[in-house]
Chain A
Amino acid sequence: DTGVSQDPRHKITKRGQNVTFRCDPISEHNRLYWYRQTLGQGPEFLTYFQNEAQLEKSRLLSDRFSAERPKGSFSTLEIQRTEQGDSAMYLCASSPGLAGGTDTQYFGPGTRLTVL
């Protein structure tokens, strides 16, 4: 078990381009989360999956953002027509999916996006 991994670690793109990030959760974890963190702020929730089902999306997730988890394992987060305001650290977390609210999320190293 090597923890949550994310790829790439850094991405620099030009405004208007599309970018895609990948997250591989801890094996056997059935919940996967995406957060965004800007400088000087705590992480903000974007969306989460239980297996392959996307169960919740934040209003922060505009229609330029889409996330998938097609086989209930890894997930991708795509941003279309990037804007400078999308520059941030994109964090992925996974959790085993324990019932009763006792679930604990484990975070990956993040993908730092810079939009020029």
Chain B
Amino acid sequence: AQSVSQHNHHVILSEAASLELGCNYSYGGTVNLFWYVQYPGQHLQLLLKYFSGDPLVKGIKGFEAEFIKSKFSFNLRKPSVQWSDTAEYFCAVNAGGAAGNKLTFGGGTRVLVKP
């Protein structure tokens, strides 16, 4: 069975600081990878996704993520955060095929950006 782990449960940083959130998954086959974000009081929104091709993917609001197959990782980055990036971030994996179409989520990382 596939699993996803996010290393940090809580991150606190100041505006303009750089952000990197770790995500590792366990699954030996081809995977599709996603980062979702949940802003306070709002529903889950897609931040970015990786299916194939260039392992560095860019998403909305200046976020990017890098897929490193050898490390089973899909870390999220943003060079300079804003107060509005305060949210909870979820990494998710879809193995497709025999594993079905379901998403397996990590436990989430709460990010607080201090103004």
Contact = CB atoms under 8 A, between A and B. Distances in A.
Interface in B1-23: 4, 9
A48 B51 contact: no
Interface residues of B, number: 27
A41 B107 contact: yes
Contact of A106 (B4, B46, B92, B108): B46
Nearest to B105: A42
Interface string A32-56: 0101000011111100100000011
A2 interface: no
A107 B42 CA distance: 11
Interface string B25-36: 000001010101
A66 interface: no
B107 A42 contact: yes
A108 interface: yes
A110 B43 CA distance: 7
Contact of B102 (A33, A104, A107, A109): A33
